[in-house]
Amino acid sequence: MKILVTGAAGFIGSKLCTKLLKNKKTTIYGLDNLNTYYSLEVKKLRIDSLKKKKNFKFIKIDLKNNQNLKKLKSIPKIDIIYHFAAQAGVRFTVREPKKYFNDNIKAFFNIINFAKEKKVKKFFFASSSSVYGDQKKFPIKENFELKTKNFYGLSKKIDEICAETFSKIYNIKTVGLRFFTVFGEWGRPDMLIFKYIKANLSKNKFYLNENGEHFRDFTYIDDVTSILTKLQNVKLKKNFSIFNICSNNPIKIIEVIKKINKFNSKFKYIPIYSKALKKIEVDITHGNNNNIKKHLKNFKFSNFDKSLSKTVKWYIENEIHKIT
């Protein structure tokens, strides 16, 4: 089997490649533009680790320029595409809204059109819980109205519409994955857990918005990659499918901070209250995962405390704060 993974130097993309490469009969083509939104050193370390496998091929490419896709013409056949390349970050949308149009919408159109030309069996793509915006009823189901409140969520909503349209017109199996707060080893340096640890180990101040009173549906990376690989073999009735990828276990941010503090009682934070962040961030993310459980019988999500413990220990022991 030949699988193409975009965003291969990213958190989810690199961890998925690692899991897929365990099957030596599978060839993985990993694509990434190696942007500098966060530490390039971290991305290079991820790719260097993947390059050690003979069945991994890395291609540096910027997907928003359609001409660049000519680099992929030499690949004779692609069975599955996992499209995870994107401009991430909700807060960054305020400063650089145009990047979300170029990197998330233009690039998406180019890669799904490429999938059409290659006649892939399945096209998986990363969406986000950000498409839901503020909701009043929980847990959030896939059929809830989308009330996006930032440009990141908007770009993912447009990607979903584009994918559904392609699936109807060209008969492509497309699967949208609405990721909630994914965490774990080799996670994104711009996310809460690693930012908090780094600030304290580097003796810098850490500002916690609204004293951490908001809730997030944390989902462990190993659960995510297991779901993604298992979905390969699931027969989906419709050409277009959407799944919440979440634990259905929302946890208050301040409680996560307290759990991390057990590893180092000297860790501190400064509470702030930002009106600007209130405009673009939601108070609660809490997804319903019945749909994914229906399709993946007997799937069990990891225990949060154990997963957090492994993540924090890995970060501290490997002194990741020194390279991010």
Query: Using CA atoms, how far apart are residues 91 and 179, in angstroms rounded to an integer?
Result: 17
Query: Residue 95: what pLDDT?
Result: 87
Query: Using CA atoms, how far apart are residues 124 and 313, in angstroms rounded to an integer?
Result: 32
Query: Using CA atoms, how far apart are residues 20 and 56, in angstroms rounded to an integer?
Result: 10
Domains of the chain: 2-186+217-249+286-302 (3.40.50.720)
Calculate Rg over the CA atoms of the chain: 19
pTM value? Answer: 0.96
And the tokens for 200? Answer: 């304290």
Give me the amino acid identity at 275: K
Marked catalytic residue, from 100, 152, 196, 315 = 152
Query: Residue 76: what pLDDT?
Result: 85
Query: Using CA atoms, how far apart are residues 307 and 302, in angstroms rounded to an integer?
Result: 7
Whole-number Cα distances in Å, 272 to 32, 193, 207: 36, 17, 6
Active site residue 152: yes
Query: Residue 254: what pLDDT?
Result: 97
pLDDT tens, the chain, 324 aa long: 999 999 999 999 999 999 999 999 999 999 999 999 999 999 999 999 999 999 999 999 999 999 999 889 889 899 999 999 999 989 888 888 999 999 999 999 999 999 999 999 999 999 999 999 999 999 999 999 999 999 999 999 999 999 999 999 999 999 999 999 999 999 999 999 999 999 999 999 999 999 999 999 999 999 999 999 999 999 999 999 999 999 999 999 999 999 999 999 999 999 999 988 999 999 999 999 999 999 999 899 999 999 999 999 999 999 998 988
DSSP string, 171-192: ---EEEEEE-EEE-TT--TTSH
Query: Using CA atoms, how far apart are residues 144 and 40, in angstroms rounded to an integer?
Result: 37
Query: Using CA atoms, how far apart are residues 83 and 32, in angstroms rounded to an integer?
Result: 10
